[in-house]
Structure 1
Amino acid sequence: MTEAGGDARSLWSRSLGVISAIGPPITVATALLVYFGWARANAQAEDMGLDESLFGYATQDYILISINALYLPLVCILVAGVVWLALDRWLRRRIDEGRHQELIARVAGIAALAAVAVAGTGLLLAIGQPTRAAIFAPYVMAVGVLLAAWGLRLRRHARAGHAPVLSVEERAVEATLVLSIVTLLLFWGTADYAQAVGRGLAASFERRVESLPRAEVYSEKPLGIGVEAVSVTNVGTSEQPLYRYGGLRLLVLSGGRFFFLHDGWTTEEGTVVVLPDDNSIRVEFGN
């Protein structure tokens, strides 16, 4: 076995050891999906004046609603990863062929310094203006850390040629630290993005409340809905009263409860009507 082959296997062994310590990939991915789904649901509920626990979401529900919050970040990360991999292979091929080694080393060093400045700027934005920069600052810092580490490794490779500058253990520690920092930053940014998606959904209901399914609720007993936009009519008789409530729009059916908005609902002054999904009421839906 060659020394390079032994180094590669040793590096892979350490990487697999780190992954095993954290947990199986499927378990970690499921936990992340649940958390991001909860972050989206919690932000949406808060903007609507509710508590997220009222919806009674199950684990499967959190996973499903997290997809909308993760789709764009994952696509961007995967596209950036493909571009980075192609560029890295192209530059290393030039270095291995002995072409433009000095130029690549110089540019890589400058890029590493610029990346450190970018990461620092993102950190200052996150500290100084957390409400405005919370979504983008963690991603900016993650890109800065990755570019800085990549630039330094390219510079070492170009300066030293094929001879490794660092030992396998040192490279493993360096890679672990960089990946840990980047993972935490991506987790931070994606959680903030999921919350922004939830707040955006709450605001969108205000604009499109009239497009939600129209609902009429029938009950033999008064429900005591104290919302002016909700009309109540007794369509029964004096012996058998039947109350019909109109002006409602179905938001969601979850956790054994109906969640209704009313015509003209807003995040500032609107009221969310919550009724049980049982035999005490009958609901009719329409366009």
Structure 2
Amino acid sequence: MTTTSRPERDSEASAEPIGHGPVRATTATPDAAQPEADPAPAPADVIPGPPNLAFEKWMGFLSSFVAPVTLITALLFYFGYVSSRTFFAYFGVDVDVLGLSNQAFVMRSPGALFVPLVIALILAAGLVVGHRLLRKRLKNADATVRTRVVAVIAWTGIGLILAGLVLALLWGVFGGWELAPLVTPLLLAVGAGLAAYAASTARALRGGSEGRSVVVLLVVAMVAGAFWATATLAEWWGRGQARALAADLASLPAVVLDTQERMFPGNDAILFQELEPHEEGQMYRYRYHGLRLLVQGGGRLFLVPDQWSPDASTLVVPYDDSVRVRFRFFPDADPPG
């Protein structure tokens, strides 16, 4: 019976599915024991790995911030408007009365953005290279050197921010300085960028989550400063284009203007001629030479004299039946007469 009962019990035990039936207590042998895990090192013995400076993360944040097409279009419109406003203001014309379309402002923006865009791309490439070199050095440096480097970057950024704030708050004193409108936002932008980089690096070295809001605010301040500086460059570009055009107006279409009523341009470069009535019903009695078409907008012509001077003025005439205009749309020394 013993020999027959054992196989039955063995077969029942082997047929019993795993995880079902009564739980049998087993005693682990020394051979089956798992190797004992090494005790966790004390906090003082932890060697920090390569610092995650999170530079690429913030660059990705900025790129995702400026990526939408609507935002890019809005920026193009703004810088086109700023440069156009400065350009026409040089000739005494308010750009808002021209009635230019949004597309016209966007088309005027690339010239104002080429220089700052190229500079920004070159600086971004240099910052990426510098960041990787610094990260490689900090990887092999001890904690003291890392802390010292972060402190130098942070205090440099704070110093630049303070200098920019002094220029901004004392604008009445430094406003006469020609470079103040550009230096002030650049100091704020560079200072905020360095401070944000130092704060982000310190967070990575500590391995904590504190200070994130400070980094975000500093990054926003850096973007605002860069935006301010770019707007200043757009103003300078528009003013420079206006001065270059005023020095040689031959590229503008020459205009001969006939009017029904007498005008007084007040500029010697504009020649006046009184027309004889050759036929009955002659509407136009006065003719003016020496004019160039600056721009047309809002149903009006904005005309400037051939020779621009500080005392020159821009003539605004309605583009309707009250005037008769003849143009020549290529530069020459013999305008229509």
Q: TM-score, normalised by structure 2?
A: 0.67
User: Relative to structure 1, is the Cα distance of residues 226 and 69 closer, same or farther in structure 2, using a 3 angstrom cutoff?
Assistant: same
Given the alignment, which residue of 117, 120, 127 partners 2:162?
120
Q: 2:255 matched to which residue of 1?
A: 216
Q: 1:154 matched to which residue of 2?
A: 201
The structural deviation recorded for 1:256 is 3.6
Percent identity over paired residues = 30
User: Relative to structure 1, is the Cα distance of residues 139 and 151 closer, same or farther in structure 2, using a 3 angstrom cutoff?
Assistant: same
Q: Is the 8 A contact 1:104 1:155 kept in 2?
A: no
Q: 2:230 matched to which residue of 1?
A: 190
Q: Is the 8 A contact 2:301 2:317 kept in 1?
A: yes
Q: Deviations over 1:246-276 (max 9, x none)?
A: 111222233443222103322x311101233
Please show how residues 260-279 of structure 1 align to structure 2 within 5 Å: 260-266=303-309, 268-278=310-320
The secondary structure found in structure 2 opposite 1:251 is strand
Given the alignment, which residue of 166, 175, 178 partners 1:130?
175
Q: Is the 8 A contact 1:262 1:272 kept in 2?
A: yes
Q: Distance in 1 between matches of 2:90 and 2:168?
A: 22
The secondary structure found in structure 2 opposite 1:269 is coil
User: Relative to structure 1, is the Cα distance of residues 41 and 124 closer, same or farther in structure 2, using a 3 angstrom cutoff?
Assistant: same
Listed as ranges, the gaps of 5+ residues in structure 2 are 1-53, 332-337
Given the alignment, which residue of 246, 251, 254 partners 1:206?
246
User: Relative to structure 1, is the Cα distance of residues 187 and 137 closer, same or farther in structure 2, using a 3 angstrom cutoff?
Assistant: same
User: Relative to structure 1, is the Cα distance of residues 220 and 137 closer, same or farther in structure 2, using a 3 angstrom cutoff?
Assistant: closer
Q: Does 1:174 align with 2:214?
A: yes
Q: Distance in 2 between matches of 1:113 and 1:220?
A: 68
The secondary structure found in structure 2 opposite 1:136 is helix
Between the two structures, name the one with larger relative contact order (CA 8 Å, sep ≥ 6): 1
Q: Match for 1:106: what amino acid?
A: R
Q: Deviations over 1:22-47 (max 9, x none)?
A: x9822222222222222222233333
Given the alignment, which residue of 39, 53, 73 partners 2:96?
53
Q: Distance in 2 between matches of 1:145 and 1:272?
A: 44
Q: Distance in 2 between matches of 1:131 and 1:198?
A: 20
Q: Distance in 1 between matches of 2:72 and 2:262?
A: 43
**Poorly superposed stretches of 4+, deviation over 4 Å:** 99-102
The structural deviation recorded for 1:83 is 0.9
Q: Distance in 1 between matches of 2:67 and 2:262?
A: 50
Richer in helix (by share)? 1
Q: Is the 8 A contact 1:252 1:260 kept in 2?
A: yes
Q: Distance in 2 between matches of 1:144 and 1:71?
A: 24
Q: Is the 8 A contact 1:216 1:244 kept in 2?
A: no
The number of residues matched between the two structures is 262
Q: Deviations over 1:34-92 (max 9, x none)?
A: 22222222233333222222221110111122222222122212211111112112222
**RMSD value over aligned CA atoms?**
3.1
Q: Match for 1:134: what amino acid?
A: P
The structural deviation recorded for 1:221 is 2.7
The secondary structure found in structure 1 opposite 2:100 is coil
Given the alignment, which residue of 105, 110, 118 partners 1:67?
110
User: Relative to structure 1, is the Cα distance of residues 51 and 213 closer, same or farther in structure 2, using a 3 angstrom cutoff?
Assistant: closer
User: Relative to structure 1, is the Cα distance of residues 109 and 252 closer, same or farther in structure 2, using a 3 angstrom cutoff?
Assistant: same
User: Relative to structure 1, is the Cα distance of residues 214 and 43 closer, same or farther in structure 2, using a 3 angstrom cutoff?
Assistant: closer
Q: 2:11 matched to which residue of 1?
A: none
The structural deviation recorded for 1:223 is 5.7
User: Relative to structure 1, is the Cα distance of residues 258 and 64 closer, same or farther in structure 2, using a 3 angstrom cutoff?
Assistant: same
Q: Is the 8 A contact 1:212 1:251 kept in 2?
A: no
Q: Match for 1:192: what amino acid?
A: T
Q: Match for 2:181: what amino acid?
A: A
Listed as ranges, the gaps of 5+ residues in structure 1 are 1-7
